[in-house]
Amino acid sequence: MGIQWTNKEVVHLLLRAGFGVTQEEIAACLALGRVETVRRLVSGEALIDKSPKLASFDEFHADGKKALDPLLLVDQQMYWLYRMVNSPTPLIEKMTLFWHGHFATANYKVKDATLMVRQNELFRKYAMGNFKELLTEIGKDPAMMIWLDVNQNKKGKPNENYAREVMELFTLGIGHYTEMDVKESARAFTGWIYNKNEHKVNYNAKQHDNDAKTLLGESGKLDANDVIDILFHQRALPMFLATKLLNYLATDNPSESWIQSVAGLITQKNTIGEVLQELFLSEEFYADIHRLALIKAPADYVAGILKSCNLAVAKGHAQALRKMGQELFVPPDVAGWRGGTSWLTTNCLLARYQFAEGVAKQMNGQQLNSSAFQPIQVESPMEWVRLYAERMGITELSEQTQASLLAYADDTLVHTTQTKQKLTGMRGLLQLVMISPEAQMK
């Protein structure tokens, strides 16, 4: 039958490959067609021709401040959120966040916003690039070196932290290596040092263990590059990465055949971008069972709402992410954010509701009286509900949600004549849409 290319498919793709939707983006993607839309997403080309360029960190202003402080983590968090909301190349930001969770590194130990941003820029550079090259570079990244105690990994006194996580969390997963493999890998990684005073990463040959080692069945005087080569000889690596990519972009429970199919692409293709191109063109990705099947991460939720409502990013928005359980540059531990239902604990849901209330209050009369938030048939509750749901990137509402929203719209919008009460009603409807079950899903 082939894949249709309607609003539903476009919104599904944009919610997975970016942060929220705008009506302009949807129209552009419908005009471009599925193949060209995917090509632009993957290649880092703007979906909308002549899209405004992102402001640099130095050019970005928020909360009335003339300039942000690059040394303040909250200012860097605010700027990254601004990128998520406004980037004309959303998939690059989405994959930058993926790698941040995959190679989870937190500022509470690194204690240097500059190094966290440097790592962030590395993830952005390789967002769609070669995974082996990224894995090689992350081992020489100062934030990662501090995070996993690489400076303490010396000849005769190996520290196993980085070696263990390289296999357990970055490439193979538990069960595909032994404790001896960890010890041998740690020996192979010796010699790399980050000098905090000089802000330089150096290799000290005298601190490298050059004796013979055996890792995952392969022997020799192994060094860091040899370890990575050996890891890429393992069949578990593409399966592990395929599962993580599918969990992030497609479904919590991918079938074994889908995992194997994506793993095959990881093995065959040179870049992650090429893998994602095939994924986003596949029929399985657009299957009904996978729509509204993933819980939005806080970054999805906050950035998506700000984008849909065309609101400027503020410090409070970045702080809202922390309250929802996803503070940028501060994942909870080496395993990163757990995702899934962990995003919807009582406290996290309350933070979402409070954020939605704050956004609704921010919307002024000029915004709400514009055509973006005013249906043509103002006497129809259904048109109010349909319009507000569409603005939030919701293409389907359950009968229960729709009935609740229709009743509210009928009471507060259709049968209200006073301007002030109508504005209150519009803010209320917007807030109810934002806290609906469907608004938490993508």
pTM comes to 0.97
At 99-152, the pLDDT tens digits run 999 999 999 999 999 999 999 999 999 999 999 999 999 999 999 999 999 999
Indicate the average pLDDT of the chain: 97
The pLDDT, as a whole number, for residue 26 is: 98
pLDDT digit string, tens, across residues 216-244: 999 999 999 999 999 999 999 999 999 99
Percentage of the residues of the chain whose pLDDT score is greater than 70 = 100
The three-state DSSP-derived secondary structure of the chain is CCCCCCHHHHHHHHHHHCCCCCHHHHHHHHHHCHHHHHHHHHHCCCCCCCCCCCCCCCCCCCCCCCCCCCCCHHHHHHHHHHHHHHCCCHHHHHHHHHHHHHCCCCHHHHCCHHHHHHHHHHHHHCCCCCHHHHHHHHCCCHHHHHHCCHHHCECCECCCHHHHHHHHHHHCCCCCCCHHHHHHHHHHCCCEEEECCCCEEEECHHHCCCCCEEECCEEECCCHHHHHHHHCCCCHHHHHHHHHHHHHHCCCCCCHHHHHHHHHHHHHCCCHHHHHHHHHHCCHHHCHHHCCCCECCHHHHHHHHHHHHCCCCCHHHHHHHHHHCCCCCCCCCCCCCCCHHHHHCHHHHHHHHHHHHHHHHHCCHHHHCCHHHCCCCCCCHHHHHHHHHHHCCCCCCCHHHHHHHHHHHHHHHHCCCCHHHHHHHHHHHHHHHHCCHHHHEC
